[in-house]
Chains A and B, each alone.
Chain A
Amino acid sequence: MATFTEPDKLSENVGLKVHDFTADTVRWVLSNTAPVLASTFLLSDITQIATSGGYTQMTDGAGGLLGDTTLARSGQVSTVSGTQVVLTATGVVGPFRYLVLVDDTPTSPLNPVVGWLDHGSAVTMANTDTYTIPAGAYFTIN
């Protein structure tokens, strides 16, 4: 699958018990502005695309594209994986290039970023188009 990029802060957040990748609610956010490793840590750091065509901007507890993550351990390595998410456009969506995974559960820090996928180029969806965020292993913790 596409490369999942982790922000610098993720490892610290894992160590500080910010995330529970089994029990937390996660949402995907669409953006056309490149996230930055050293500073895209929170939902509020993301420049989201506008609400339109079946996509709704994420706020705390709502919007974005609802996803789900799982944590599986083998030996000393745990892998965080996600389920497949599909958006079907009911009008124009985008353009967007980045799919940013946000943990909707923590309150301090509020809605930390888990990481992101880069489509590689900007996408504009038309009515009836779909966008698939693939299932797969996103990153490992060891």
Chain B
Amino acid sequence: MATSTADLLRARLKEVAADKDKQEASLEKAKEAFRAAPDESKRGKLNEIKAATAKICDEYADLARAVSAMSGGTNHAPAPTG
């Protein structure tokens, strides 16, 4: 049976969601470690983890909206005000 684009997207979304959860957990752990032993020299490293997290959050968001649209869902967001 042929795999549809929607099925492929859903499968990819599931993978990315799992990666996103792992990345967010890593970030929260890094934040907790930073707060427990604040060291300003390590703030840059924390920012690197945050940037990686933002990247995977963006990928997840794009996929989630695409899957929603294919399922007939509506993608809501606050209107930009410039």
* A residues lining the B interface (CB < 8 Å): 1-3, 20, 22-25, 66, 68, 70, 83-86, 88-89, 99, 105, 117-120, 123, 125-135
Contact = CB atoms under 8 A, between A and B. Distances in A.
Contact of A119 (B65, B75, B78): B78
25 contacts: A3-B81, A23-B34, A23-B38, A23-B43, A25-B31, A68-B54, A68-B57, A83-B50, A84-B54, A85-B57, A85-B61, A86-B60, A86-B61, A86-B65, A88-B67, A88-B68, A89-B73, A99-B78, A105-B35, A120-B78, A126-B73, A126-B74, A129-B68, A129-B76, A134-B80
Contacts of A25: 28, 31
Contact of B64 (A24, A86, A117, A133): A86
Most buried by B among A66, A85, A130: A130
Interface in B28-69: 28, 31, 34-35, 38, 43, 46-47, 50, 53-54, 57-58, 60-61, 64-65, 67-68
Most buried by A among B53, B78, B79: B78
Interface SS of A by simple majority: loop
A128 B78 contact: no
Q: Which 3 residue pairs are nearest across A and B when measured between Cβ atoms?
A: A128-B73, A2-B78, A132-B77
